[in-house]
Structure 1
Amino acid sequence: MICSASSPYGLVSVSTDKNKLNVPFIQQFLKDIYWAAGRTIEEVQTTIDHSFCFGIYLNDTQIGFARVITDYVVFAYLMDVFITEKHRGKGYSSVLIRSMMTEPKLKDIKIWRLATSDAHFLYEKFGFKALENPEKMMEKKVI
């Protein structure tokens, strides 16, 4: 466990223990969200196996998830960040992101990136901003 705090709704904790993650819960959420639509449980497990993962729990029940793909020095990409609908608007996203940004294993990272269509306000609180030179970025999609 990397942090734990009381809230008006109970005990909130964030953990990087992959054994504690509820993979069916994560897949159930991701399969219907715009950025991961259709992702199978096997694909979710593969992404977890190859990422540094964070689960957020309310009274030991998982309410959200996020993962980081990184080399632990130069670059990190923040992915699959979510809090279930029932628990949004209570500050849990900020608890989750703050835990990631202050995780000692990630302290040396120079460049953090992410993609979002609707949560700019959240990430801006943690220093994220639009790319300085988006024309330098490229991507390849295999659909």
Structure 2
Amino acid sequence: MSHLNTQDLHVSTDKAELDVPAIHHFLSTQSTWAIGIPPATVQRAIDHSLCVGGYIDDRQVAFARVVSDCATFAYLVDVYVLAEYRGRGYSKRLMAAVMAHPDLQGLRRFMLATSTAHDLYARYGFTAPFRPGTLMERYVPDIYQP
């Protein structure tokens, strides 16, 4: 699946179309989870992930990244729509493209972490962990801060 056109939003998994400086700018200055992330870290993350970009004309306005073995597990991260483009259904279109991707079918576990968009992700089958006591994490929230 390289392209999925939905109304005025063009959705693509082609990494050549990604505006990496724009992605870095959003993540490092506007996200709630990656403030201060270095450009090289963003690039390395993109290089090793399945990425979905959302575009209006030639401007990237949305992004999502999935870390996966494409067989059993996936982790959805870095999902955003630029503030001035929110409220138009673009996050739903971006998520529909992620969930329809052929490499992400039949996974045993698909995870994400969110503090604000539970309703969006619930539309695609995401719930609180079935057995939260079995999950652990190593979390360093201020890793990108000096």
Per-residue CA deviation, residues 106-138 of structure 1 (Å, 9 max, x unaligned), is 123221100000000100111111011111111
Instruction: Give the root-mean-square deviation of aligned CA atoms.
Output: 1.1
Could you tell me which runs of 5 or more consecutive residues in structure 1 were left unpaired when the two chains were aligned. Answer: none
Equivalent of 1:31 in 25, 28, 32: 28
Paired position in structure 2 for 1:3: 4
With normalisation by structure 1, the TM-score equals 0.93
Report which structure shows greater RCO (CA 8 Å, sep ≥6): 2
Per-residue CA deviation, residues 82-111 of structure 1 (Å, 9 max, x unaligned), is 000000010000000000001112123221
Instruction: Specify the SS of the correspondent of 2:137.
Output: coil
Q: Percent identity?
A: 44
Instruction: Specify the SS of the correspondent of 1:31.
Output: helix
Could you tell me which runs of 5 or more consecutive residues in structure 2 were left unpaired when the two chains were aligned. Answer: none
Equivalent of 1:49 in 47, 50, 58: 47
User: Runs of 4+ in structure 1 displaced over 2 angstroms?
Assistant: none
Instruction: Specify the SS of the correspondent of 1:130.
Output: coil
Give matches, 1:1-143, under 5 Å. Answer: 1-6=2-7, 11-32=8-29, 33-142=31-140, 143=143
Offset of residue 14 of structure 1: 0.8
C-alpha distance in 1 between matches for 2:57 and 2:139: 39
C-alpha distance in 2 between matches for 1:141 and 1:12: 34
Number of equivalenced pairs: 139
C-alpha distance in 2 between matches for 1:141 and 1:114: 14
With normalisation by structure 2, the TM-score equals 0.91
Q: Which moved more, 1:110-119 or 1:132-141?
A: 132-141
C-alpha distance in 2 between matches for 1:118 and 1:16: 25
Amino acid at match of 1:48: I
Amino acid at match of 2:37: R
Per-residue CA deviation, residues 48-87 of structure 1 (Å, 9 max, x unaligned), is 0110111011123110111000011110000000000000
